[in-house]
C-alpha cells in the first residue's frame, strides 16, 4: 500500500508523498501518472496489484466552507500494472 496527499490546484489533481509527485487534469490522468511514477521508482519485479490511498487535504478548501463538509473526498485505487515490468 502507498499513501498520498491529494489536492486540486484549480487546474490539476495533484497526489504527493515524500518520494512521488503525480498530477493530472482528470482523476484518470492522475491515476495513470501515479502508475508511471511508481513504475519508474520501483525496483521490484513482482506484479502484485498495489493499493493506493489518496487522502484529500482540506487546506485547499476555503475555511468558511470546511464546516459543511469534514472532508472533500478520499480515494482508494487498486492499480494492477504499477510494478516494474519484466523486459
**pLDDT, tens digit, 9 for 90 and up, residues 38-47:** 888 775 555 6
Residue the block writes with cell 478520499: 74
Listed by start position, the domains of the chain span: 2-79
Distance, CA of 42 to CA of 57 (rounded, Å): 26
CB-based contacts of 22, cutoff 8 Å, min separation 6: 4, 14, 15, 16, 30, 33, 34, 36, 37
**pLDDT above 50 for 87:** no
Average pLDDT over residues 22-33: 96
Measured distance CA(7)–CA(16) in Å, rounded = 9
In this structure, what C-alpha cell is assigned to residue 15? Answer: 497526489
In tens, the pLDDT along 41-79 reads 775 555 678 899 999 888 887 788 777 766 567 899 988
Looking at the DSSP bridge assignments, the partners of residue 56 are 6
Amino acid at each position: 500500500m502507498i499513501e498520498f496527499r491529494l489536492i486540486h490546484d484549480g487546474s490539476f489533481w495533484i497526489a504527493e508523498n515524500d518520494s512521488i509527485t503525480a498530477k493530472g487534469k482528470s482523476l484518470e490522468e492522475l491515476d495513470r501518472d501515479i502508475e508511471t511514477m511508481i513504475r519508474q521508482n520501483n525496483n521490484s519485479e513482482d506484479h502484485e496489484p498495489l493499493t493506493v490511498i489518496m487522502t484529500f487535504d482540506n487546506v485547499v478548501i476555503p475555511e468558511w466552507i470546511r464546516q459543511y463538509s469534514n472532508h472533500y473526498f478520499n480515494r482508494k485505487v487498486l492499480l494492477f500494472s504499477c510494478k516494474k515490468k519484466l523486459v
